[in-house]
Structures are given as structure tokens and as C-alpha cells.
Chains A and B, each alone.
Chain A
Amino acid sequence: MIPMENNCLLACVFVPVIGAFALPLIGRVSELARNLTALALVTVSLVTSLFLAPAAIAGHVISVSYSLPLGFNFILTADALAVFMAAASSLVGAIIVLYSFGYISHYNNRNEYYLMVTLFLGSMMGLVYSGNLIFMYLFWEITAIASWRLIGFFREKEYVLKADKAFLVTVFGALVMLLGFIYIYQVTGSFDLSAIKAAFKNNAIPDIAVALILIGILSKSATLPFHTWLPDAGVAPSPVTALLHAAVLVKIGVYVFARLFIATFTLSQIWHTVVPVIAGVSALVAAGAALVETDMKRIIAYSTVSQIGFILLGFAVSNEVGVVGALLYILMHGLAKGGLFLCAGIVEQNTKTKDITKMGGLIATMPVTAFSFLACALSVMGVPPFGGFFSKYLVFSGAATSGSIMITSIFLFGAFLTLIYLFRIFNMIFLGDPQKPPAKEGSGVMVLSVAMLAVLSIAGGILIKYPSDFVQTAVKQMMGI
């Protein structure tokens, strides 16, 4: 054990979680100091995760544990999968916090905003590194509470109702999942993932537990039939929707899928068909809804639901190439979808509307936003040289390798629809005839954030070798190859 790395692991989780509560106090003194502190707290997670990366890629598993009674041991485990997920989420998270400096500066309740965002990202780190089911559940619920406050940030009655809806749906899912955890506890007598792994080494996990946990995963990852809270959550401030949709919250579900159903248990054969079918239906229905909606944030939210289907597909086919594809998909989609939401935020703030039928021709006045939007959209579509190209190919390769042509075809159709609805929204916002007096470009720091995400999307494609190597190590570790 290397104490330095253990400290890193603890800092990665607890610095933002505890530090978050200091933000409102700092905010009373200085706005700028609070903003910078928030960014620093999130950056701590990013830096510590990156610091853990060399050890993780070398195959070391860093673990910190404190014994507690009744199997409630507090365990943080940093393997390659967790480090990858933590680095990907905190990278997008840090950019989103940076963007918030510009976006949130003229709304009330800024102290609460930064508290919730930082707490959210910190508990995400806790969830990712958690080696114990109960603490995983605990952090899971903290993210739900933080996102509930954030969705209802503007405090209008209708918005608060939508926040309640998101909270109720995800918490309902989480409680069902908790039942699944308890079921596993009854069989194995432990919540410790490594103990559970040992217990299920030779036999598949009972289907009833899988079904219960799956409900939690699907509700958090906004997959049919638990997805409608996500488009509704678009009433939140834009950085929040970006945070919720793209980088973190919806990826929690699929991460837990990978963590439990690939890295810990073996699933019985039926799930390799059932889950892709659910994912496929979800991808198609959401893509269809994205083609009909006219509110830009709802369109992008439906697009997220649809893309989550691809990630779930990659994990659910459970062959090496599919899982690598799904993990890369998490990274590439996080960057690109985060960029799309932040661009939408700039457009919304400067045009004072979210209705795409009332926009047009904005490329003339907002060139950086327009090009960033296009770059991110191309990455989501899976067009080279953007990062989304490789992740999409690898997921398709995984699906093809599983040998199911039906499922591959469903997703092929889903990929067509992605092309069509993303062009629909891009054309209606940025091209064509201007509908109103032209809106101005966003503030410097906001434009910088979206441009960074766009550049990262291209870099993710051209420099695919590095994330890909890392992810392949992670997958080898997960699947014990």
C-alpha cells in the first residue's frame, strides 16, 4: 500500500464533499473567491484521479477501508474502471463549473448553486470509488438530493413539480435497487463487493436481484420506461442540465451496471438479450421524440436518453469490444453532450427562448457557439475525426460480435435518427433566416468552455490511442481476462 495514493483517493471524494459546505460561507465574503474555490474543489477530484491513473493502468488496485459493524465497511477502491469514470466525470464537471461563472452570475441563490454542484460531483466520486453496496447507495441518494435542488433552482411552481418528479422517479428506482442489494446481502452476508464477487464466482446472481437492481439503474440512467423525468429536468439552469444529462447523473446508472454486472457478478444468459432490447426500444422511442419536440433542451435531453441506449447496449452484450466501446462512449458522449447543452445555454440566455421554431441564422452572430455545437453534434453522430466515431464503431462491433442482427439493426436505425434530429436542431437554431434581431455571442468564459469541449471532442478522436489503451486495461481487469 502506498499511503500517498490512499490519501489521493480519500481527497478525491472528501475534499469536494466536505468543502462544498464551506462555499456558502465563502460566498458571503467574496463571489470570486467562492467561484474559484468551487472550481478548485472539483479540480482536486480531477487531479487526484489523474494521479491515480498510472497505478491503475499498471494494474494496481488501490484500496482504503475502515471496518464498521454488520458488514457496513467503508471501502474505497480505485481500479482502472473507477479511475476512468472519475476522471471523465470530473473533467466535464470542471468545465461546467467554469462555464457557470458566466451563466449563473445574474441569478439568485448562487451560494446554494455552487454548494449543490460541488456536493453532487463529490458524491459522484464517492459512488464511483465505493467498494461497498451500502455506501454506493448512500452517495447515489446524495446525488439525487442535490439534483432535486438544482432542477428546481428557479423556484417556479411548475419547475419545482418537475424537480419533484425527477426526485421521486429516481428515488423510487433507488429504493427498489436497495431491495436488490439486501437480497444479495441475504445470500452472501456482505455488502463488500470483493466478498460478493468471491461468493458469486461460480454461479450466476439470482435473476430477481438483477431485476431489482436493473430498475434502479434504468431510472437513474433515464432509460425507457423511467426516462420522462429527464426531458422535464430541462427547466434547470443550463450548466445543471449539462451536468445532469451529459457528464454525470445519467452515467451513474450505466456505471453501476458495469461495476456490478460485469466486474462483480456474472449475469445469466437471458439478460444479454433482455437489456439490449430495452436499450434498443429506449433509443428508438427517445430519438423519435427528439424529432418531434421543439424545445431545444428537451431535444438534447431525448438525445441523451437515446445515446444511453447505445452505452447500455455495449455493456449488455458483455464482450470485450462492446464494453470498451461503451466506456469510450461514456467519455465521448459526456464531452460532446456537455458541449451541446452548454451551447444551448448560451443560445437560451441570449435569445431568451428555448423554442427552436423561433430561432434561425444565429451562426452569423454566434460563430464560436455554432461551430462548437456542430463539432459536438458530429461527435454524437459518430462522424470522424471526432471521438464519437470510435466509440460508436466499437459498440456496433460488440453488437455484431454478439451475433444478433436484430439488435444491431435496431441500433443502426437509431443511429440514422441521431443524424436527422441533430441536423434538424442545428439547422433550425443556427442556419436559415434570422427570426429576431440577432443575439449576441455568449460571455468569454462561456464561449471558452464550449470551445474547450469541442476541441476535446476532436482530440478524443485523433488521440484515440490514449483513452483506448486505458479503457482496454480497465476492461481486461473487469472481465478478468
Chain B
Amino acid sequence: MTANVIFYPIIVPLVTALALLVTPKKMKWGKEIVAIAGTALNLLLAIALFKSNIYFSAPWSGFGIDFSLKLYQFSSFIILAAAGFAFLITLYSTASLFNKDYAKPFYVYLALSLLMVNGAVLADNLVLMLFFWEGLLVTLFGMITIGNKHAFKTATKAFIIVGISDLFMMVGIALVAYLGGTITISQINLTTAGLGGLAFIFLIIGAISKAGSMPFHSWIPDAAIDAPLPFMAILPASLEKLLGIYFLARISLDMFELNVHSWASTTLMVVGAITILLAVMMALVQKDYKRLLSYHAISQVGYMILGIGTLVPVGIVGGLFHMINHAMYKSCLFLTGGSVEKQAGTTDLAKLGGIAKSMPVTFICFIIAAASISGVPPFNGFFSKELVYDGALERGMIFYVAAILGSFLTAASFLKLGHAAFLGKKQGNAEVKEAPMRMLIPMITIASLCVLFGLWNALPLNNLIQPILGKRLEGHNFSGLPTNALLVIATVVVLALALLNHIYGVKKTGKALKATDHIRYAPLLGHLYDMAEKRFFDPYNIGLDIVNFFAKIAAWFDRAIDWVYNILVVNAANLVTGLIKRLHTGNYGSYIIWSLASAAVILIFLIRAI
């Protein structure tokens, strides 16, 4: 293979996007065929490139900004995963977005997003990486904004939140260039002492914000409502998570030398633990299928950050394994949500119920994915969570407790979701049918992978995850059954408790949808929930309030300066000219005296000059 092959993952999506733009409108199935062909080609390419090592570098913009690409174990794995999701979700969208007038821009943005993800993962230069990474902002904005007439507000919110974190990253890169003298990723080797710590934080902000961690999360639940559904499955659920966590791993494992006792490690674990708990608390009380899922898309990032943040091998492997597992079950869950929305016409849980019989395949896929996310053995999520628990426990009981409590609430909220949406009494009279084949195939494929990656976890762990870590992992092998039986027992007990909690909730209120009301309206907690639902804690709103307050002061200051020009200077000039005007009395004698006096001054000046 020649080195030029490394450009194909960038060229193929680009050509796909351009081809889509020139596809005539009248051609039936035109855009669908182009989109499927493009993403399929990209998938085949990713399979062909998997596990190859290629390096390319050319000078670009000076100051160490080279156009350098590096294909190796880790990047080829992310490209493969992204290609798989892009293909399956495109296939799904050909059915779910059929007849929607935004289908074509959606495919274009999807292809461009794929280009950006592939480029960012391949890049071996931080500025080149940021070039693709930040380019995702444009497609993110575009994809949300086509959703509905008022989606642009959410799109703007997403753009501003992610854009600000990307600017942090830009400054972080500038600091890396200053401190390390290079921005070639594979050559960077910094510590978190002094300014290095600031550079680390700025880069991490960019990474976890892309992954959707708190406090950069608040656009995701809004996008779940406003954006086209496949968007949620492709960007926040899979591609952005893969990219964000990929880079988080690169920063904390390759670029910076961290050790388990550093503040950086503790910070990451704290961010992870808080994200797990707060987001799942919000997920628990949602009343909309998609919105509930979107909070889980935030919460699960917490496990990955926590796992990688532990910096112990078992935790890192767990975090990375969780990254790929999450991308699978979460996109599958969103796809089930999409098929429910398309077939039943709503995602409002109050209006859903009893559709399991009429949509059996969707229901089974939902159960598998929900069991995976809740960490039920033997699905994939169980194994990755056990690894994260193990790592968290090694670093401190409190992190383990946060993680396991998160699992309890996750399980509880999925029991509620499944029960309210698929079981129970049927609402309304409309006949609900199973989704079309093109929507089922992606769901079935991903759900089967969830089972496969669980039952045969040696396949992903030995082939995909563990080789990434190389030397760091010497002597360890985490595939197979969990080694710590005590933790497994604890997990099973917690899951059983979640089930009991659900049964208690349903019994108490009589409705599956209200199964979590005893938590929602608990003393004190209920009050906090009220405030959260009024968006009191939304970091975006808080940030905008601060900015607007600042803007008011700045504008006032600006007006004050303008006042100096418009009023003060003018009045002062009038005053001076007024005084001088009074001297011009028309008295001939006084004019002569002035002239003589002035002439004398000039004379004295000239004499002194000589």
C-alpha cells in the first residue's frame, strides 16, 4: 500500500458530500443511493486500513503546523467504529428521513462530519487536529438547525458551548507549542507542573466537552427534542463520544506524563463521578423517550472519564471499552426511539404504551441495549462497567460508590422507560406497525454486536482495546469473566434493588411513568428538581447571564467614553472659543498691544535660539 491511502478516509467522505450536492432533486432515491454508497465505501476502506501503520507529513503553515497524518492501532480502530456507525445510521435514515425535505442536507452534513472525525483522528499535529475537530462545529450547527423552525436556538446553544471549549483547546495548543516546542502529537511529552497544568486543563476542556460531559452538556437534551433523530444517534451518541474520549486518552496517556497521585487524575475522576450522578438524576425524571436517552448520553461519559482518570490499567481499559460499548448501545437506543417516533407518532411517554406486541423487533433491540447500558450480565456494558468499578475502587471507595449508585439509577430509569413505552396499556386507537426493514437492520446489527462484545469480550478487548495501551498493560489481560467476584455480587444486588425500586414505584402510583416519583418529589430533592427543570442550573444560562452583565458594564463604559467626545470636548471647545471671542472687542488699541506683545515674544525666542 502506498502512503497516499492515508488520505482516502478524508477524500471519500468529501467526495460523497460533493456528489450529494450535485445529485439532482428529481432523481428518485438519488441522494439515498449516493449516501449509502459513500458510507459503505468508507466502511470498506476502514476495514482495509484497520491495523495498518502509515505516516505522512508535509509542511503546511509554518511554526510547526504540519499536515501530518498517522494511522496506527488506535486511530484505525476509531475510524473503523465511526465508519460502521455512519453506514448503519445512513441506512436507517433512508427510511426514517424519507420524504423529509431536510434529508439531503442531513446526508451532506453526515458525510462532512465523517470527514472531520476521520481527519481529527488521523492528525498527528495538534493544529491540524483542531482544524478538523473544530470543523465539526459547522456540521453540528447545520444538523441541529435543519430539525425544525426553532431548532436554530438549540443549534446556537450547541455551537457556543462547544465553540467556547474549542477556543480553550486552541489556547491550550498554543501553550503546548510554547512549553514543549512542538505540536506534533507523537513527540509531545509534558508534565502538569506550572503552565503545563493550565495547558492540560484547556486541552481536557476541549476533549470532555466534545464527549458531552458536564458542565458542557446542556445542549444535548435540547437537541434531542429539536434535531432530526438520526443526528442524536450519529453525533452525540457515537461519533463525538468516540472522538472526545479518543483525544482524552491521547492527552492523558500519551501527551502528558501523569501519575496516579497527580491532581490531574483526581480532577478527572471527580468530573467523571459528578457527571455520572447529576446527569442520571435528571434522566430519571424525564417524561420523553429521546430526552431521557440524551441525559444518559451525558451520564455514561462520566464512566469513561472516571475510568481513564483512574490511570490504573484496569480503569483505562474499562473506560475505553466503555467508550465503544456506549457508542453501540446508545445509538441503538436512539434508533429504537426513532422507530417508535416514526411508527407511533410521538416520543412523549405519557402517550405511549403497549406497543411491544406490535413492534417486537424494536422492543427486543431496546431490551438488549437497555440491559447493556444498565450493566446487566452478560451484555457488553456489564463487562466494561465492572472494569471501571475495579479501577475506581482501587483509587478510592467514594468513586466506586458514585459509579455503582449511577448504575442503580440507570437501571431504574430504563425500567421506567421500557415499561412506560412498550408495556402497559395501549394508548390511543391508532394502529402501530413494526418499523420498515431499513430501520430494523441497523438496530439488529448493533444489538447483536452488544451481545457479541459481551459474551465474547476477548474479541474487542484483545484486538481493539488492549493493543492501544501497549507497554502500559504488560502482563495484564482483562478479557473473560471479571476477576473480582465481590464486585459482581454487588452489581447484581444493586440491579435487583433497582427492580424492587421500580416495582415499589409502580405499585405506589399505579403508573409506570410515575415509577420514579418517590425520588422526584422526595423532600429537598424535589425542590432541587424544580429548580433544575426551570433551568436554574444550566451552565449555559448562567454563563450568558454573566456575559450579559459584563456587556452592560462594557457598553456603559463605552457610552461614557463617547460622552467625552460628544459632550465634554464640544462644551470645552465652546467655552474656550467663547472666552477668546470676548477678547475680540473691536478696540483698535488693544489689537495693537497684542501684536506688539506677540512680536516681542517671537523676538526673544529668536534671540535665545541664536
Contacts and interface: CB of A to CB of B under 8 A. Distances in A.
Interface stretch (A42-50, A173-181, A351-359, A397-405): A397-405
B163 A381 contact: yes
Contacts of A393: 127, 130, 170, 173-174
Contacts of B378: none
Contacts of A397: 63, 173-174, 177-178
Contacts of A207: none
A447 to B, nearest CB: 19
Interface string B146-182: 0000101100100110011001101101110110000
Given A324-B62, A383-B137, A423 B160 contact: yes
A400 B63 contact: no
Interface string A379-398: 00111110001101110110
B554 interface: yes
B178 A465 contact: no
Contact of A384 (B131, B167, B198, B550): B131
Contacts of A464: 60-61
Contact of A228 (B65, B163, B562): B562
Interface-centre pick from A229, A289, A416, A464 (highest chain B CB count, 10 A): A289
A392 B134 CA distance: 13
Contacts of A394: 63
A381 to B, nearest CB: 7
Given A225-B561, A389-B134, A403 B547 contact: no
Contacts of A420: 160, 544, 547
Nearest to B63: A321
Interface in B109-132: 127, 130-132
Contacts of B174: 393, 396-397, 399-401, 408
A428 to B, nearest CB: 11
Nearest to A472: B62
A154 to B, nearest CB: 20
A420 B60 CA distance: 30
Nearest to A375: B138
A101 B363 CA distance: 64
Chain B facing A: main interface SS: helix
A401 B62 contact: no
Interface string A301-338: 01000000000000000001100100000000000000
B205 to A, nearest CB: 11
Interface in A273-298: 284-289, 291-293
A226 to B, nearest CB: 9
A396 B150 CA distance: 35
Contact of B134 (A169, A384, A432): A384
B504 interface: no
Contacts of B178: 397, 400-401, 403
Interface string B542-562: 001001101111110110011
Nearest to A302: B558
Interface-centre pick from B134, B137, B558 (highest chain A CB count, 10 A): B558
A465 B167 contact: no
A289 B547 CA distance: 11
A423 B156 contact: yes
A419 B171 CA distance: 15
A423 B561 contact: no
A415 interface: yes
A165 B565 contact: yes
Interface string B60-96: 1111010000000000000000000000000000000
Contacts of B145: 431
Contact of A396 (B65, B163, B171, B553): B171
A288 B156 CA distance: 19
Interface size class of B (residues with CB under 8 A): 35 or more
Contacts of A399: 174
Contacts of A378: 138
Nearest to B550: A288
Contact of A405 (B150, B170, B177, B195): B195
A346 interface: no
A412 B554 contact: no
B138 A383 contact: yes
Nearest to A392: B170
A419 B130 contact: no
Nearest to A466: B61
Interface-centre pick from B59, B550, B553 (highest chain A CB count, 10 A): B550
Interface-centre pick from B170, B195, B551, B564 (highest chain A CB count, 10 A): B551
A82 interface: no
A198 B59 CA distance: 36
Interface size class of A (residues with CB under 8 A): 35 or more
B561 A224 contact: yes
B177 A400 contact: yes
B135 interface: yes
A399 B131 CA distance: 20
Nearest to B167: A415
A292 B555 contact: yes
Contacts of B175: 400
A468 interface: yes
Contacts of B63: 320-321, 324, 394, 397
B18 to A, nearest CB: 14
Interface in A6-60: none
A292 B553 CA distance: 10
Given A382-B167, A393-B130, A412-B171, A292 B62 contact: no
Interface string A85-104: 00000000000000000000
B554 A289 contact: yes
Contact of A289 (B132, B167, B555, B564): B555
A169 B177 CA distance: 41
B171 A400 contact: yes
A468 B61 contact: yes
Contacts of A381: 163
A128 to B, nearest CB: 23
A288 B555 contact: yes
Contacts of B138: 378, 383
Contact of B547 (A291, A324, A469): A291
Interface-centre pick from A423, A464, A469 (highest chain B CB count, 10 A): A423
Contacts of A423: 156, 159-160
A465 B60 contact: yes
B377 to A, nearest CB: 44
Contacts of A396: 170-171, 174
Contacts of B177: 397, 400-401
B571 to A, nearest CB: 14
Interface in B553-591: 553-555, 557-558, 561-562, 564-566
Interface of B: 59-63, 65, 127, 130-132, 134-135, 137-138, 145, 150, 152-153, 156, 159-160, 163-164, 167-168, 170-171, 173-175, 177-178, 195, 198, 544, 547-548, 550-555, 557-558, 561-562, 564-566
11 contacts: A287-B554, A289-B554, A291-B551, A292-B555, A324-B62, A383-B138, A396-B170, A405-B198, A419-B167, A423-B156, A427-B153
Interface of A: 165, 169, 224-225, 227-229, 284-289, 291-293, 302, 320-321, 324, 378, 381-385, 389-390, 392-394, 396-397, 399-401, 403, 405, 408, 412, 415-417, 419-420, 423, 427, 431-432, 464-465, 468-469, 472
Given A468-B62, A472-B62, 18 more contacts: A228-B561, A228-B562, A285-B557, A291-B547, A292-B551, A378-B138, A381-B163, A384-B134, A385-B131, A385-B135, A389-B134, A397-B178, A401-B174, A405-B198, A408-B171, A416-B547, A464-B61, A465-B61
The 10 closest A-B pairs by CB, nearest first: A288-B554, A291-B551, A400-B174, A292-B555, A288-B551, A397-B174, A228-B562, A289-B558, A396-B174, A468-B61
